[in-house]
Amino acid sequence: MSTTSTTDQETESDTSDSGAPSGGDFDPVAARRAARRGLILGGLAVAATACNVRPDPPRTINPPAPPRPRPTTTLPPRTTTTLPRTTTTLPRTTSTTTTSTVPPTTPPPTTNPPTPPTALRAEHVARRLTFGPTPAVMSAIAAAGGPAQWIDAQLEMPASVDAALDDQIRSSYPRTFNDAIGNFALGEAWEIISELPAATTVRAIFAQRQLFEQTVGFFWDHFNVDLRNDRAQASCGAYDQLIRAGAFGRFSDLLLAVARSAAMMNYLNQATSRADGTNVPVENFARELMELHTVGVDGGYDEDDVKAVAHLLSGWTRQLVDWMPIGPFRFDAAAHNLGPFQDPTHTVLGWSRGALTGEAAGVGFIDHLARHPTTAQRLAHELAIRFIGDHVQRDDAVVTAAAGVYLTNDTSIRATLRSLLTSNEFAASANRRIRRPLELYASMVRALARPTWNPGALRDARWGLVGATDSLNQVPHWWPDPDGYPDRDANWVSVGSMISRWNMATWVVRSPSAVVTVDWTAIRNWTTGTTIGEWFAAACGRLGVTVANTARDRMLGELYRTATTPLSATGTQWTMENLLIQLLQAPDYQTR
């Protein structure tokens, strides 16, 4: 069976023809077919992620189904769908409603006990806070004076250290730095679909500011926009720059910038929302602003509040360019109607507009949301899940402490991160997380590839880089929904994804190309020793994998080698390839 050919036929355009409005002249099928032709990794077997967990404990044997009684009526029960108003404005009251037959169930208030003092290890910091340890990272940690000092250095490192990388990306992927307005033709906007994922992947592999890149990835998920959305894509280069500018700044600034961005305003239909005359404002952005960007779905608002906020933000639009609202921000007073907020004392989530009107009222509400205690706790929890692990509960002390730091430091993202990363919980969380697909791919390349790419090669490789993470369903910025790629480990491991994880190792090692040049001389020189056994020990150390000698001897035996076989023997590269694939497939490599 020809795996690659069947894969091509069955998977191309699978994510591109998802039924979303399609526009422009971009042909996803042709693009992906081109991607899979001759370029690296383009034909990777594609398997999806899953989020299965262990099933319930075994049950006793169930009796066979009894004879089915015939019903005597066709009338269904009358179901009530009334929505009780939530009258309190306190944070974190639930606004979820249920039928009278189902009492609301509240999750048990579980928290983890505080972690005792734990030493912060360099290997853990390198695996968790970068896209894969390299000798350069380990040297930098040592040079900084230790892992804690290295974290501080990463938080303070100026953007200029990656200026050369920026220049390279600017020449290879020019549309990732701007929106289309005055910078490139609207007809080229679709190029962002491959350029930005490629740029993000290249940055993950090469940036010095690794913690910054990790944080940018976090906020892209937090404020997700799907590049393939034809309303948003002309503005997504500028949107990436906006997130990059704000990822280490104040969350209040970032939140407002996102709310006023052409990408988000188009993605969530804010730019075409009107509340004048008989028009009903579109609720989409107002809802996600609270549900996803700030307080969360149980944050203490209800359906009427969503409608009220949709009114509050009505008139927020963009100037028209070629009939699309993708120009500069514009407040259209004619489309604005405060709705319930016409009453200056009308309150949502503890905020009323007072004397504020028009555009300023919306800005005031968004700033209030950024500083809401529920937003602080939720954002700190999300960051803790990303950087510590998905076992962290929302009310754990480590989260509450970080939320407090966030509020007392003017919503500083860096201060919040520092609080989390200096915690015992972080120090004790080594290898608790599974490498997400981008992390897995980038880590393999960082471990094996020679960083000698030129801009021309990068440009040609963009669809190949898309294919690299597509194999595990995490092409950067291709998540279709506003909630971003899932961040629970269970979402990233299943039967299908295990196979793709194993196959990715084979691809990276065995498919050298313009982008991934595996430097076998350098790899041979991982050890100064002269035997396969010494090289194997060095490889295990680099990749963070522990292999017992019996297992090593078994692996070598299958390759007709022993630990004392000289590295100079014929077939050394073939041997190293085989062993590397198996080490990269090892479950302990797949964690971080």
Partner 1 sequence: MRTTRTTQPTDQHEGSTGPSRRHFLVGAAAAAGTTVVLSQSGLVGAAAPATGRSLIVIFLRGGADGLTLLAPLGDPAYATRRGPLRVQSSTARALTGPAANSYFALHPRAQRLAELYAAGRVAVVPAAGLPVINRSHFDAQLMMEAGSFGLAHGSGWAGRWLAATGATDDHVLRSIGFGGTTPASLRGYPSMVAYSLADLSLLSWGPNRTQVRTNQTERLAAGGTHPLFSTWSEPTLDTIDSLATLGDTSLPTGWPNTQLGKRLWPVARLIEAGFPVEFSHAELDGWDTHSAQGTPDEASGNMASLVAQLDGAIGAFVDRIGSRIADTTVVVMSEFGRRAEVNSSGGTDHGTAFPMMVIGGGVRPGVVGPWPGLADNQLVDGDLRLMVDYRTVLSEVLSRRLGATSSHLSSVFPGFSTSPATWVNVCQ
Using the contact rule CB under 8 A, the part of the chain among 45-53, 397-405, 454-462, 519-527 near partner 1 is 45-53
- Chain position carrying tokens 């991982």: 526
Report if residue 67 touches partner 1, rule: CB under 8 A. no
Among 76, 117, 158, 182, binds partner 1 (CB under 8 A): 76
3-state secondary structure 58-71: CCCCCCCCCCCCCC
Q: Which two tokens stand for residue 232?
A: 């948003």
Task: Please report how the helices 462-470 and 437-448 are oriented relative to each other, as an axis angle in degrees rounded to 10.
Answer: 120
Among 551, 564, 566, 571, binds partner 1 (CB under 8 A): 551
When the beta carbons of 49 and 215 are compared against partner 1, the nearer one is: 49
Question: Strand runs (DSSP E) across 440-576, as ranges?
Answer: 492-493
Report if residue 587 touches partner 1, rule: CB under 8 A. yes
Report if residue 573 touches partner 1, rule: CB under 8 A. no
Q: Which two tokens stand for residue 356?
A: 């504020």
Give the residue among 199, 286, 195, 260 at the shortest CA–CA distance from 233: 195
As measured in angstroms, the least distance from the Cβ of 65 to partner 1 is 3
Report if residue 14 touches partner 1, rule: CB under 8 A. yes
The answer to whether 224 and 248 are in contact (CB under 8 A) is no
Q: Which residues contact 508 (CB under 8 A, 6 or more apart)?
A: 41, 441, 444, 445, 448, 516, 518, 584
Q: Which residues contact 118 (CB under 8 A, 6 or more apart)?
A: 424, 427, 428
Among 196, 232, 259, 306, binds partner 1 (CB under 8 A): 306
User: What's the chain's Rg over C-alpha atoms?
Assistant: 26
As measured in angstroms, the least distance from the Cβ of 54 to partner 1 is 6
Q: Which two tokens stand for residue 216?
A: 């940018």
Report if residue 69 touches partner 1, rule: CB under 8 A. yes
3-state secondary structure 345-358: CCCECCECCCCCCH
Report if residue 323 touches partner 1, rule: CB under 8 A. no
Among 39, 40, 47, 515, binds partner 1 (CB under 8 A): 47
When the beta carbons of 63 and 158 are compared against partner 1, the nearer one is: 63
Overall size of the chain counted in residues? 592
Cα–Cα distance measured from residue 506 to residue 585, given in angstroms and rounded to the nearest whole number: 9
CA 354 to chain centre: 38
Using the contact rule CB under 8 A, the part of the chain among 139-147, 380-388, 513-521, 553-561 near partner 1 is 553-561
As measured in angstroms, the least distance from the Cβ of 23 to partner 1 is 10
Report if residue 330 touches partner 1, rule: CB under 8 A. no
The footprint of partner 1 on residues 428-447 (CB under 8 A) is: 431-432, 434
CA 154 to chain centre: 20
Among 203, 260, 274, 446, binds partner 1 (CB under 8 A): 274
When the beta carbons of 166 and 303 are compared against partner 1, the nearer one is: 303
When the beta carbons of 283 and 425 are compared against partner 1, the nearer one is: 283
As measured in angstroms, the least distance from the Cβ of 69 to partner 1 is 5
Strands 50-51 and 316-318: unpaired
Q: Which two tokens stand for residue 513?
A: 């190309």
The answer to whether 533 and 559 are in contact (CB under 8 A) is no
As measured in angstroms, the least distance from the Cβ of 49 to partner 1 is 5
Among 38, 85, 98, 557, binds partner 1 (CB under 8 A): 98
Among 18, 342, 454, 549, binds partner 1 (CB under 8 A): 18
Cα–Cα distance measured from residue 289 to residue 296, given in angstroms and rounded to the nearest whole number: 9
Q: Which two tokens stand for residue 17?
A: 């023809």
Report if residue 65 touches partner 1, rule: CB under 8 A. yes
The footprint of partner 1 on residues 457-496 (CB under 8 A) is: 473, 480-481, 483, 486, 489-491, 493-496
Among 39, 45, 151, 523, binds partner 1 (CB under 8 A): 45
When the beta carbons of 166 and 483 are compared against partner 1, the nearer one is: 483
Q: How many residues bind partner 1 (CB under 8 A)?
A: 123
Using the contact rule CB under 8 A, the part of the chain among 201-209, 323-331, 499-507, 519-527 near partner 1 is 499-507
When the beta carbons of 19 and 158 are compared against partner 1, the nearer one is: 19
Report if residue 58 touches partner 1, rule: CB under 8 A. yes
When the beta carbons of 407 and 466 are compared against partner 1, the nearer one is: 466
Q: Which two tokens stand for residue 208?
A: 């010095």
The footprint of partner 1 on residues 380-439 (CB under 8 A) is: 431-432, 434
When the beta carbons of 241 and 431 are compared against partner 1, the nearer one is: 431
Site string for partner 1, 508-527 (x = CB under 8 A): --x-----------------
The answer to whether 302 and 86 are in contact (CB under 8 A) is yes
Using the contact rule CB under 8 A, the part of the chain among 359-367, 401-409, 448-456, 505-513 near partner 1 is 505-513
Q: Report the b/e string of 5-31 with b at 16+ CB within 10 A.
A: eebbeebbeebbeeeeeeeeebebeeb
Cite the DSSP H helix spans in 223-372. 236-246, 251-259, 262-267, 284-291, 303-312, 358-370
The answer to whether 427 and 398 are in contact (CB under 8 A) is no
Report if residue 334 touches partner 1, rule: CB under 8 A. no
- 130-to-151, 402, 424, 445, 581 alpha-carbon distances in Å: 11, 21, 19, 13, 22
The footprint of partner 1 on residues 125-184 (CB under 8 A) is: none
Report if residue 224 touches partner 1, rule: CB under 8 A. no
